Amino acid sequence: MKYGKLIALVVIALVVTGIAIVVGYYIGRNVQTESEKKNVDFDYDQNIRLEIIKGITTESIEETLIKFTEKPHHAGSLQEEKVLVNYVKETWEKYLDKVDIYPYNVLLSYPNTSDPNYLGILFPNGTETKKTNFTEENLVYGEMKKNILPAFLAYTPQGTVSGKMYYVNYARVEDFQELVDMNLNLTGAVCLARFGKLFRGRKVRNAEVFKCAGLAIFTDPIDYAGVRKHAWEPNQKDTGYPHNWWLPSGGFQRGTTKMYSGDPLTPDYPSIDGSYRLDENEVDLPKIPAQPISYRQAYEFMSILAGPQANDSWQAGLNVTYRVGGSFKAPYQNCKAKLHVGNYRTRKTIHNIIGKIRGWQEPDKYVMLGNHRDAWTFGGLDPSSGSAVVTEIVRVIGSAVKGGKWRPRRSILFCNWGAEEYGLIGSAEWVEQMGKQLLLNAVAYVNIDIAVNGNATFRAKATPSFTELIYNSTKSIRNPNQHELLWNRRTVYDTWLRKKPDPNNPSVPYIQTLRAGSDYKMLLHKCGIASVDIRYTFDEPVSSYPVYHSLHDTFDYFKRFIDPEFQYSKAIADISVDLVFKLSGLTVLPLSPLSYAEKLNQMSKILHENKGNVLKEHGIQLNDLNYAIRQFKNAAHQLNDAAQKITLTSDQTEIQLINDRLYKIDRGFLDFKGLPGNLDLLHVVFSPSKYLSSLGVHGFPGVTDAIQDAEAGLKPWKYVEKQISILRTHVLAAAGLMQEI
């Protein structure tokens, strides 16, 4: 063969090979595109979503609720830490890829049954009368169980105190101040307050600040028994549970009084083996004895209390004239009030259970669904109505995964928290242990504490990025209320809109601000994880369902008066599945930066309307804050536009970049120095205010607290400027997280 011919053949071969490579490349691209298309389609399948929701049954939820509420299960008890932990673990292992138990050894608090707590009247000769009991009467058969915790306020110390008795209304700062303004000396007094309006731990702290010796707190019948003012007296027939949903006259409200989250002995660090622990005397826990009493017991003291008549807003449901006290009527005019508390504190091991379904595309990104397991007594509503719903969600989603019908794009973590009632201990310890991973990789958290505490309407508390997702989910779920269906309100959204329109925009339902009342607290306020807390609720003008934290929070109560057919429980399960399915499955996260921008703008407007003139009088402007919010809004629009442009052929890196920016918005609002006066809270927008009003803003706690401190003369106005500057810095930081540098 001639040399020139050989060269020609080689050239031809190279050309053919090159053509084959190019053709193969484009064929490969087409195949890859088809594969990507299948993967993107696989992320969200409407038929699978509907099939999972259809699998939810009221019968299964009811059976699970019976199991959880069979016996009392307070944190640290055998029923809670062994029986129910094993039940949840074994049940979840049937459906999930992985289930882990996280134990923590923490400081808990209990009443001493051999040294009962009581409030009484002490005569000068040392004899006592009107001593209260601290156990409740069994009203139905199911309440006749062993190991029921008597009524107490967790973490309040042992002690016996006596002194003058004063009635302090809701034990708010302004309530105590009103008595001080009347020249009444509260030092050494045993005060009597009613539950409501304020966290019970804050009531105890306020009593300490005003130098009271002790505090008793009662459930006033106007707040918990549905009576009119001055309507209840002890000689009338008890019309509460089991006759209706109201608290019976002998019912107590238990609860924690610890002012911060997590184990008291290991602040900021997990209470695992080897952790350094503070001594108990180094810990900021309540310093005065305190005790809950029933409204029947409160009547015994309010009816003999003397002193000036309390103002009209302090008058309530007992058929007596509410007086501020300082002395008793005859024959008790020389007597003192005596409070004895025998509580003790001890370390116990509590447990979290974390189950996982591994995501196929982004296994290191976590969508979380959680509920706590422990209850003060049986937990019919709090928390076991939520525990039953979460367990049902595990079953239906897990069955779809195990059956090969679906697997989420992102991993799903199912969280069963321990010792929530003692101050969010389980979730706080887990965040302290896993916080670094969560800061990087947690996408969103859905919390179901009480799934159903009423059947009037749906209720959501959420960070603003959840807004559109919640609206869309509730529009897709059938209304469980048969009466509402007759009025053509076909979806959960329809009744929600009718019952609870947004006061700032009545064309949409009201989504409340997340504060610090459940396990979302540490995930949102310490890790900046977008969060939502959902339930079905009542529309009565009361602060909680009447038997909250009492003996009577049982399965019987739930089935009689709350959700007899478990249709509302199913609705919450349906909505939760929809939220988790979309958050874990959609290619682009369904979180809305525009809703966040709108909320910030609304909050700034309210702040200006309520306090703009006062700020101006002290040379303080909101211009810089408003500029930062405009920058946030611009960044939100850019991110939203980029998210809208994602198609089936978009590069996975581009998708990941946009999703990272969507779920990390709240990270920008974390001030790692903590908020003034509460280093437990880092979120400068949505952490709760230390004041009840928060100036109507329902956010910006550093700024609103500083303004109220300055108005009261507690802080200089320069301090307000500093807090506005800190807020502005973090708004700009959050805007920056939505953009490239």
**What is the average per-residue pLDDT within 459-478?**
98
- Work out the burial of residue 501: count CB atoms within 10 Å of its CB; fewer than 13 is exposed, 13-18 middle, 19 or more buried: middle
Write the pLDDT tens digit of every residue in 66-93. Answer: 999 999 999 999 999 999 999 999 999 9
CB atoms within 10 A of CB 213: 22
Write the pLDDT tens digit of every residue in 248-277. Answer: 999 999 999 999 999 999 999 999 999 999
- Please give the model's pTM, rounded to 2 decimal places: 0.93
Return the SS3 of 517: coil
- Work out the burial of residue 597: count CB atoms within 10 Å of its CB; fewer than 13 is exposed, 13-18 middle, 19 or more buried: buried
Confidence class of residue 354 from pLDDT cuts 50, 70 and 90? very high
Confidence class of residue 38 from pLDDT cuts 50, 70 and 90? very low
Write the pLDDT tens digit of every residue in 518-544. Answer: 999 999 999 999 999 999 999 988 889
Are the CB atoms for 626 and 714 separated by under 8 Å? Answer: no
CB atoms within 10 A of CB 458: 27
**What is the average per-residue pLDDT within 594-614?**
96
Q: Distance between CA 80 and CA 121 in Å, rounded? A: 37
Kind and range of the H or E run holding 166: strand 165-167
Residue 486 is classified by DSSP as H
Return the SS3 of 658: helix
The overall average pLDDT reported for the chain is 93
The lowest-confidence range among 133-142, 183-192, 281-290, 295-304 is 133-142
CB atoms within 10 A of CB 123: 14
Cβ contacts of residue 90 below 8 Å, gap of 6+?
Answer: none
Residue 288 is classified by DSSP as S
Q: Distance between CA 373 and CA 65 in Å, rounded? A: 12
Q: What is the pLDDT of residue 22?
A: 38
Confidence class of residue 8 from pLDDT cuts 50, 70 and 90? very low
Confidence class of residue 241 from pLDDT cuts 50, 70 and 90? very high
Q: What is the pLDDT of residue 136?
A: 94
Q: Distance between CA 268 and CA 605 in Å, rounded? A: 35
Counted residue by residue, the chain has a size of 741
Paired tokens of 336: 């003192």
Chain Cα centroid distance, residue 683? 15
Q: Distance between CA 460 and CA 139 in Å, rounded? A: 33
The fraction of the chain above a pLDDT of 70, given in percent, is 94
Q: Distance between CA 175 and CA 193 in Å, rounded? A: 10
**Nearest CA among 513, 500, 504, 506 for reference residue 467:** 513
Whether 4 has a pLDDT exceeding 70, the answer reads no
Q: What is the pLDDT of residue 400?
A: 97
**What is the average per-residue pLDDT within 145-165?**
97
Confidence class of residue 25 from pLDDT cuts 50, 70 and 90? very low
| Inter-CA distances, 315 with 298, 321, 323, 568, Å | 14, 7, 9, 36
Q: Distance between CA 226 and CA 317 in Å, rounded? A: 9
Whether 296 has a pLDDT exceeding 90, the answer reads yes
Q: In this structure, are strands 457-462 and 501-502 parallel, antiparallel, or unpaired?
A: unpaired
Whether 449 has a pLDDT exceeding 90, the answer reads yes
Ordered strands of the 190-194 beta sheet: 165-167, 190-194, 214-218, 290-293
**Phi (first) and psi of residue 293, to 5 degrees:** -135, 165
